[in-house]
């Protein structure tokens, strides 16, 4: 029974991935615009992280006796990034494909965007520690 469940999960993941590729191919052929690009991932990741941290700071503001505006500012910036992504996708496609593609972007990139923020923070700390005792960099023009 466990192998059957594993096979069904693998088949569902493969079917979803092929469906996304097909959707992106249809958008590229019909409108000349790919929805799943590196730029759209970064805009989505920024929007998700701003919304996520905005909600976190807004919810914890009363516990720590801090102003609510900190979380609301982050939340509004995240919603602005979301609105920009929606605008770009609707402008370059049509309403149905733009809204559907943007919703698909947010649904697929949510776990990756939330996890990538912490990984990015760890990478930044490692870079600072690694370059702390480094000597000067000499640039030689030839």
Q: pLDDT at position 131, please? A: 75
The predicted-structure confidence for 70-99, as pLDDT tens digits, reads as follows 889 999 999 999 999 999 999 999 999 999
Q: pLDDT at position 126, please? A: 84
- pLDDT of 142 > 60? The answer is no
Q: pLDDT at position 119, please? A: 77
Q: What is the 3-state secondary structure (H, E, C) of the chain?
A: CHHHHHHHHHHHHHHHHHHHHHHHHHHHHHHCCCCCCHHHHHHHHHHHHHHHHHHHHHHHHHHHCCCCHHHHHHHHHHHHHHHHHHHHHHHHCCHHHHHHHHHHHHHHHHHHHHHHHHHHHHHHHHHHHHHHCCCCCCCCCC
């Amino acid at each position: 029974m466990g192998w059957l469940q594993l096979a069904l999960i693998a088949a569902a993941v493969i079917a979803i991935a092929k469906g996304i590729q097909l959707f992106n191919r249809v958008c590229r052929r019909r409108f000349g615009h790919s929805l799943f690009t590196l730029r759209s991932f970064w805009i989505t990741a920024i929007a998700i992280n701003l919304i996520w941290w905005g909600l976190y700071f807004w919810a914890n503001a009363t516990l720590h006796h801090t102003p609510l505006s900190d979380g609301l500012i982050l939340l509004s910036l995240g919603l602005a990034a979301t609105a920009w992504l929606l605008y770009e996708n609707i402008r370059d496609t049509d309403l149905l494909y733009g809204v559907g593609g943007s919703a698909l972007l947010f649904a697929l990139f949510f776990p990756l965007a939330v996890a990538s923020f912490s990984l990015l923070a760890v990478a930044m700390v490692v870079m600072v520690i690694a370059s702390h005792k480094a000597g000067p960099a000499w640039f030689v023009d030839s």
